């Protein structure tokens, strides 16, 4: 079992606009009203990069900045996890290549790399710590959590996990229909620090994934791979110890024990 400490949480989804409000909803102290998220301007990004940033990058920053708060992000290793990459960029580049002149936008080309969100984060924070970007379809959050936990322990260094996904435009949406843009961020530490939220014990499992008994939140959980984190976040919001199983890949899931 891999053991890490959870220092901070970030969240951004319809009806769960940040961790402060999302915690109240997930703990049952406030009603879940899935209001659409307003546009977001990442506070850490310089103006030029902010203009170039895609909705997917902005969504990643939304949860990352919520988790980091007033901490110094320049020393944090990072793991960025998404199920499919930036599908809007993929669509626009493919559409451009289908035209006679094949004129791809330089900005779209700039944003087409798989680790675009990590690159923008590095520019915004000046961070030179290691960064990993991965994609794992519906298991992206669990795979990202496993990667971040391993890095935290083996490198003895705090690591920020950012899981994010944004719905694709048509016709890609028909093949990969996500419910809404959403992101979740967890700041992990190898040791307990003042104000730590909980200790997490992580191990592979063949048990079925944990579902939510609230029907509306369960639709939310299934609607975006980043929100597969909701059963874990619900435990953390309630301040309870317990166990959840998150969907992974290849028939292997991820069991997370929460020790508060």
Residue 247 host element (H or E): strand 242-249
Contact 115, 169 (CB under 8 A): no
Determine, yes or no, domain membership for 81: yes
94 contacts: CB under 8 Å, gap ≥ 6: none
Number of domains making up the chain: 1
Whole-number CA gyration radius for the chain: 18
Q: Is residue 179 part of a domain?
A: yes
Determine, yes or no, domain membership for 249.
Answer: no
In a domain, residue 226? The reply is no
Q: Is residue 170 part of a domain?
A: yes
- pLDDT value at residue 44: 96
Contact call for residues 12 and 161 (beta carbons, < 8 A): no
214 found inside a domain: no
pLDDT digits (tens, 9 = 90+) for 130-149: 999 999 999 999 999 999 99
For residue 156, the model assigns a pLDDT of 96
Q: Among 10-14, 96-100, 186-190, where is mean pLDDT lowest? A: 96-100
8 A C-beta contact, residue 204 and residue 20: no
191 within a domain of the structure (yes/no): yes
Q: Is 10 within the bounds of a domain?
A: yes
Give the pTM.
Answer: 0.95
- Structural domain including 176 reads 2-197
For residue 189, the domain's CATH number is 3.40.47.10
Give the pLDDT confidence of 227-252 residue by residue, as tens digits: 999 999 999 999 999 999 999 998 89
């Amino acid at each position: 079992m891999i053991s890490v400490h959870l220092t901070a949480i970030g969240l951004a989804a319809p009806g769960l606009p940040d961790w402060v409000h999302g915690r109240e909803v997930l703990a049952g102290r406030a009603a879940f009203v899935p209001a659409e998220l307003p546009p977001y301007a990442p506070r850490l990004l310089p103006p030029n990069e902010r203009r170039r940033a895609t909705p997917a990058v902005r969504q990643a920053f939304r949860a990352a900045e919520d988790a980091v708060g007033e901490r110094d992000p320049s020393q944090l290793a990072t793991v960025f996890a998404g199920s499919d990459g930036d599908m809007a960029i993929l669509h626009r580049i493919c559409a451009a290549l289908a035209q006679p002149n094949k004129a791809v936008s330089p900005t779209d080309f700039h944003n087409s790399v798989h680790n675009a969100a990590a690159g923008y984060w590095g520019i915004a924070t000046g961070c030179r710590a290691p960064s990993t970007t991965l994609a794992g379809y519906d298991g992206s959050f669990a795979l990202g959590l496993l990667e971040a936990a391993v890095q935290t322990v083996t490198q003895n260094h705090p690591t920020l996990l950012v899981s994010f996904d944004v719905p694709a435009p048509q016709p890609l949406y028909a093949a990969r229909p996500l419910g809404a843009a959403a992101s979740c961020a967890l700041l992990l530490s190898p040791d307990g620090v003042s104000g730590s939220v909980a200790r997490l014990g992580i191990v592979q499992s063949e048990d079925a994934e944990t579902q939510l008994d609230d029907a509306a939140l369960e639709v939310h959980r299934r609607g975006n791979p980043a929100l597969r984190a909701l059963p874990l976040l619900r435990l953390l919001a309630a301040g309870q110890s317990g166990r959840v199983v998150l969907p992974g890949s290849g028939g292997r899931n991820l069991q997370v024990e929460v020790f508060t």
